[in-house]
Every structure is written in structure tokens, then in C-alpha cells.
A and B are shown apart, each in its own frame.
Chain A
């Protein structure tokens, strides 16, 4: 049984909006257009829409599961697994989830370092950069969930000008590119919507900090609103991309978002893409620190003797080492491709499965309330 959470370290209901938002709208939106429009071409936005709506369903199962769990103990994923699957299998699943979080963090961190190396600093050393970056992460995580929430909120505010940059593209957009609609087979659209999972991953982290939210009743609305906002941002980006690029050019571009930032000019700044790229660095802090924080919580729930303030060192060292092991763009692409099925299994299969088990257990124990 985990220690009771003090009122001082709890966070307001808006955290259910900002934290998943910071996790979802991240580095991925610089590159996801090419993957999504691979087979369905101009219908790629439909795949994004389908996946985005599916996240709403997962959020509903997640929230109802956590709300039910409140009666039995602490409502986070780690203790929930232990209760539903038994202590032994539960702890094994906890370790699996920890590996997933670690994988997720490293993918994002290394993906962003790659962008920096290509667009801003060719000689940037992965190891030294991640070392410096993890120092900041350490400083944030030591301040607890309140601090992490603060970085999430600020990253949302800082990202606003980046999204407003879409307005500069509209004069150059050819909306006829979107036509004909629904030309491709449902199979092509669904398979690309499977690939779009990568973009919407991150909202499942609500399951780790749910017990820290003060008024969970209000938080529900914020959580759905956050998902809708993430869906809206991704939809806007994909539509702008499809209308800005021709299909041939889009397939040849690795980072379409970077390419259209390059077309923006200001009298004082020539390359706005570098500036935006560095602003987007802010997004990396909340996502990495939420992940490291969730990992320290997980380690504590598996082995309550290890304090969070000590395990954070181990986790950050692990992240730095694995991040610097991934060397070139090909490997990064591989890792990104691997994250899609793993994330799909965790979010769309495992969470509904857990919810089903919870329902079954409730039925079998004859608790009809």
C-alpha cells in the first residue's frame, strides 16, 4: 500500500488537460505527415481523425476504470495492476510498463536530438546534450508533480506561436489538393490510422498521476477537452501539409513541418525554423520529466524501499546511455516504427483489457453497486 498523498503535493483539475497535451503534441508533429500519408495520400487526414476519435473512447474506459478503482485503493496503473492480476503477475506487468515508458522517452528524446543535429547543430554530441538536458530534468523532477505540471503549462503557452505559424501557410495552400475525398480503400486508411497512433500516444500517462488530481470530477471534462485539442492541432497540421505540398514532394520530405517553416521570412530573422525548433525544445522537458517521474513512481510501487529521489539518478543515467547508443537516422526510424505497434498494444488493447478484467472481477465477487 502506497503512502497517502499529502494535499500540498496535489494539483488542480486543469492538469488533466495540460499534462496529456504536453505529452501528445510533441516532437512527433514535425515528422508524422509523411508516415500518415504514405498509403492513403490526400485522405491521410481521415486516418488522423479516426485515430483521434478512438483516443476519446480509450480515455472513457481509462477514466471509468480509475474512478472504480478509487474504492479499492490508490487509483494509478501500478497499484491497479497489482490488485487485478495478483501481486506476482502485476509486478511483472509493472516492469513491462516501465520498459514501455523508458522506450517512449528515449524515442522522443533521440528523435528530437536528431532534428537538432540536422537543422541546427551538425556537430552536437548526443551524449553531452542528453547529459545537460537530463540535469534540467533532474531539477524539475526533484520538485515533484507540481513542478512538472508547471513545465507542462508553460510548454503549452510557448507552443502557441508555433501553431499560429500555420497561418503563414494558408496563402500558399492549394485546397484542391484535398480532393477527391475518400478515394482510397478503407484498408489503406485504417492501416495509416494505425501508424498515426504514434502521434496520439501520451494521454495514457493520466493513469500515473490520476491520484494526484484534486477534484477528479472536473478533471474529466478537461481530459476530454485536451484530447479534442490535440486532435484539432494534428488535424490542422495534416490538412495544411496536404494542401501545401504535392503528394510527390510530401513523400520525399522527412520533416514537412520544418520545410514549411523555412518558407516563412521576417525582416529581422531569416530562418524562423531554427527559432521554432528551439522553442519546441521546451516541449521535451515536460514529456521527459513526466516519464521519468512515472518511472520513479513505478519503481517505488514495485520495491517500496527505493526512494524516488534516489531512483531518479539511475533512471536518468539509463536514459542518457541508451539515447547515446542510438547512432544514426536509420536506427531512429527503426525505433520510431517499433513504437507504433508497442504503443498500439498498450493503449488500444491492454487498457481496455484491464478495464474488462476489472469489470469481470467486480461481477465475480458479486458486488453489484
Chain B
């Protein structure tokens, strides 16, 4: 169709420059582009760069001072003299353009000559490595990823100092050409997984890619699902341990987080701290978290269902408490619940968007003032206020923020179905979600893995965490090429030193 054709043409960036002269002509209008002629007795050259992309001190000290040297009379001499390990000499215009925008300096003998020297002078300007903000931890490392991909790779390589750590770089985005890196360990990571993810990233059709979460949404298995299918984390220690386990990590330049894949649903509910405390405590906290999630999703819908349809479920003693607290409320339980739930959602959203100091004030005003006032005004009951506040608290126990928002969202279908069919409605809604989870895959691997398909050996590190010497195998789920984590025989030998009696 002719109109479609036109639209497609418009989507293309301005026509690319054909010659190096054209390129300079195109860039000249930019105020930060510097292009000048250097003349000395022995050597004449054209130097061009973006002064916003390069380290200007470095250029003055280590590039220009050598170029202005008397010994230099040609580009060959310049290569010999320059104190850099890697000076590129090329005629390829696309490479020149890409490197120029990466922060390289271009040196030519004549302005129109296509042969150039490319000298790296990139300025790494970004945030310092700081404490993890979204996934805070008390025991583990306090470093977190930053926006620069070099620093992120450095943080991970420090933790995996082996030559088998394979880093594969790709460019995504028709215009933005964002750097995307796949990190895995040769000989451990499943080849099939790597091929799948590589193929998915290469076949992406996007103009720009700015964040790793955007990439996760673009490459996931089911785009309509409410559940995040890839785990995103900002903790380098967690990334490193996942890579050791046989997973793939994806880093995107400009994003302070990494994707770990494939992932199962239980990993969204495990924190890295679980691996740093003894196993009974870690297991207890994991179970607490799971209980909190179940409570958070179903508590207010149970309130609606029981008070609307099944009051025979409540024991007599509790009934009188509920009666006194709901005595002055003029609405049905559903109206009451929706009012409070939406209010809490508003508070959460306002707290997240506002600056930290104002956000705290909002939290206090909302939580205390509005909460008490609404009870005193007789709009909601005390009991419900407790339930809703507790379930909001419980939802944020989830260590992963994206999962926490999912948990907070799926309570609304539960509340509505509880109003329609009571407990039966909750059961039907639950069934629909579980059937969806059974269907869901992450990189083609089952999403609720240790439960379905049932793999007993993977249950050791899912809902509970057993001691390390019980976990001699890597997760079956990842289908790693080296399934053993430790040699079971040696672990057994260490364990098997039986004493013949007490005190012997």
C-alpha cells in the first residue's frame, strides 16, 4: 500500500552520510562537535571529536602532546608514538561513525581522506557504585549495579574470576543501537537456552531500548501475562550466584539492573539473605513470605465472601466483635473493601512518585489520619482496616518489586469474584490463575517448576532451603551441561565419619 510505504520511510532516520565529508557536514551544526586542523612543521592533520563524550584532560595530556611531537610525520608514526594499546586504523565509514559516537577521536591526514585513526578517549561519567535501593539486604554485599555497563561487568567479573565466563555483546534497537550483553559460563549453561535467548534478542524489532525491564517485556514467553517471567535484580552477588548455577544474565547499557533467566515463580519470593543464614531460619522466613503472599492476595476477598454469604463460618465469639465493628457502617462489605483498597493503592502510588521527604509525610497522613478518620466517620470497620493494612504490608514482603505489584493487582479480581459467588468465586478465580501458571513458561521452561513437573530434588531450594551439603546438584530445571555442583562422593565422605559411640 502506498500510504504504508510512506509511513515506513518516515520512520527511518535522516539519510545517512555517504562519505566522511558528508558526515562532518552533518555533524558541524552540533555545538559540542569539534573539528579542527592541526599544523606543525612535520605533520598536518585533522582532528575531530565530541567534547561531551571524551575525557578532555586525557586528550590534552596523552593524545595531542604526542601528535604534536617532532618525530611524527605521518599516520604510521602517530600509531607508533601514541601510548595506547589499541589504535584503530580504518576506512569503514559505519565503524568510524559508531566509534565517534562512542567517544573516540578521529585523526585524518586530509579532511576528505577516508583513512582515519580512531583513538579511544571515552569518558566514563556516571553514578558511583552505591548501596542497593530496591533490594536492600542486611547481611550480604552492599554493592549494586549502576547505569554503566562497564562497571556492571566489572562488578560481576570480580565475583566470577574464571576464563569460562562468556560475555556476548549484541546491539539492539534500530536507532538507539543499545549495547546488550549476555553473560553465562561455558560448559555449564544450557546451549539451547542460550540459542533461544540470542535468537529472541536478534529478532527484536524496536527503535530504541532504554531499560532492562523493557527488554524483559519484549522477549518474554507470554506478553499478556500478569506475572513477570524473568527475574530482574540489581545485586551483583545474586547475579553471580545465578550465573554459577547455570543461568543466563542479561545486562543492558544504561539500566541499573540485570535479567536472570530462566526463572521459576518461587525465585521471586526468595531473597539473597536466605543463603547467608542457617537453613532452618532461611526456611522459616521463606515459608513466612509464602504465607504473607497468600494472606495478601486472599484476605480482603475472604472478608467480602464470608461477611456477604457465609457468616456461618465465623465462630460465635468472633461474630460479636465483627458485629460491633460493622454496626455503624452503612455499606456492603464490597464497597467498604474497595474504598479502603483503592485508598491504600493511592497512598502507595503517591508515595512512590513524590520526593522521599514529601512521600513520608503522605504515608503518615494517609495511614494514620485518613485511616482513623474513616473508621470514626463510620465509613469502614476497624477489623477491615487491620486486614487491609496487614495485607498491604504483606504484599511488600516480596523481595522483587515487579512481583509485588502483580500481587497487589491480582487481589482485585479476587475481591470482585468474592462478591459474585462468595467462596466459590474465590475458588474459581484461584483456579483460573493456577491454570494460567501451569501453562506459563519462562524461556520455554515450566514456570512453577518444582511443583509441576514435580521434581523432588529441586524442592530442596524452593519453598524451603535445605543445608548446602544436601544440594550437591545444580537445579534440574536449568538442564545444565554440568549437573553436579559438588562431588557428591566427597560430600558424603565428609558427612559419613560416623563415631562408634558418644565421646569416642
Contact = CB atoms under 8 A, between A and B. Distances in A.
Contacts of A14: 454
B315 A268 contact: yes
A178 B348 CA distance: 62
Interface string A278-291: 11011001000000
Contact of B435 (A116, A129, A139): A139
B435 A271 contact: no
Contact of B313 (A124, A143, A271, A285): A271
A160 interface: no
Contacts of A133: 428
B427 interface: yes
Interface in A267-315: 267-271, 274-275, 278-279, 281-282, 285
Contacts of B453: 12, 150, 153
Interface in B378-433: 421-424, 427-428, 431-432
A278 B435 contact: no
B171 interface: no
Given A120-B423, A121-B424, A136-B428, A270 B312 contact: yes
B438 A278 contact: no
A154 B313 contact: no
B423 A136 contact: no
A279 B165 CA distance: 48
Contacts of A274: 310, 312-313, 423
A274 B318 CA distance: 18
B423 A278 contact: yes
Contacts of B313: 269-271, 274-275
B432 A139 contact: yes
A140 B453 CA distance: 16
Size class of the contact patch on chain B: 20 to 34
A285 B421 contact: no
A220 B452 CA distance: 21
A121 B309 CA distance: 8
A24 interface: no
Given A116-B424, A120-B423, A143 B451 contact: no
Contacts of B422: 120-121
Nearest to A120: B424
A256 B476 CA distance: 44
B276 interface: no
Contacts, number: 78
A285 B423 CA distance: 17
A275 B431 CA distance: 15
Interface in B437-469: 438-439, 451-454
Contacts of B427: 278-279, 281-282
B314 interface: yes
Interface in B298-331: 309-310, 312-315, 318
B424 A124 contact: yes
B321 to A, nearest CB: 13
B436 interface: yes
B434 interface: yes
A41 to B, nearest CB: 33
A268 B424 CA distance: 19
A157 B435 contact: no
A139 B435 CA distance: 8
A274 B311 CA distance: 12
Contacts of B432: 136, 139
Interface string B352-389: 00000000000000000000000000000000000000
Contacts of A279: 427
B451 A154 contact: yes
Contact of B454 (A124, A153, A275): A153
A31 B432 CA distance: 27
Contacts of B318: 268
A268 B321 CA distance: 13
A79 interface: no
Given A154-B452, A274-B313, A143 B423 contact: no
Given A267-B315, A270-B313, A147 B424 contact: no
A15 to B, nearest CB: 10
B113 to A, nearest CB: 58
Nearest to B426: A278
Interface in A110-145: 116, 120-121, 124, 129, 132-133, 136, 139-140, 143
Contact of A154 (B421, B434, B436): B434
A278 B424 contact: yes
A41 B482 CA distance: 61
Given A12-B453, A14-B454, A157-B451, A147 B438 contact: yes
A281 B314 CA distance: 22
Contacts of B454: 14, 153
A37 interface: no
Contacts of A143: 435, 438-439
A281 B427 CA distance: 8
A151 interface: yes
Interface string A305-345: 00000000000000000000000000000000000000000
Contacts of A269: 313, 315
Given A136-B428, A281-B427, A151 B312 contact: no
B435 A285 contact: yes
Given A151-B435, A151-B438, A154-B438, A271 B312 contact: yes
A356 to B, nearest CB: 37
A277 to B, nearest CB: 9
A120 B312 CA distance: 10
A275 B313 CA distance: 9
A129 B427 CA distance: 12
Given A147-B439, A154-B434, A285-B431, A270 B424 contact: no
Nearest to A153: B452
Contacts of A154: 434, 438, 451-452
A111 to B, nearest CB: 16
A274 B310 CA distance: 9
B376 to A, nearest CB: 28
A279 to B, nearest CB: 8
A195 B219 CA distance: 55
Nearest to A15: B453
B78 to A, nearest CB: 59
A270 B315 contact: yes
A120 B423 CA distance: 9
Given A153-B454, A270-B312, A136 B438 contact: no
B428 A121 contact: no
A124 B434 CA distance: 24
Contacts of A275: 313, 423
B269 to A, nearest CB: 18
A268 B428 CA distance: 23
B369 to A, nearest CB: 32
Interface string A242-279: 00000000000000000000000001111100110011
A268 B317 CA distance: 10
B225 to A, nearest CB: 13
Interface string B159-197: 000000000000000000000000000000000000000
Contacts of B431: 136, 281-282, 285
Contacts of B314: 270
Contacts of A270: 312-315
Contacts of A124: 421, 424
Interface in A33-68: none
Contact of A136 (B310, B315, B435): B435
A282 B427 CA distance: 8
B424 A281 contact: yes
Given A120-B424, A151-B435, A153-B454, 5 more contacts: A124-B421, A139-B432, A151-B438, A154-B438, A269-B313
7 contacts: A120-B310, A136-B432, A139-B435, A140-B438, A149-B452, A153-B453, A282-B431
| 7 closest cross-chain pairs (CB), A and B | A150-B438, A150-B452, A143-B439, A278-B427, A270-B315, A140-B435, A271-B313
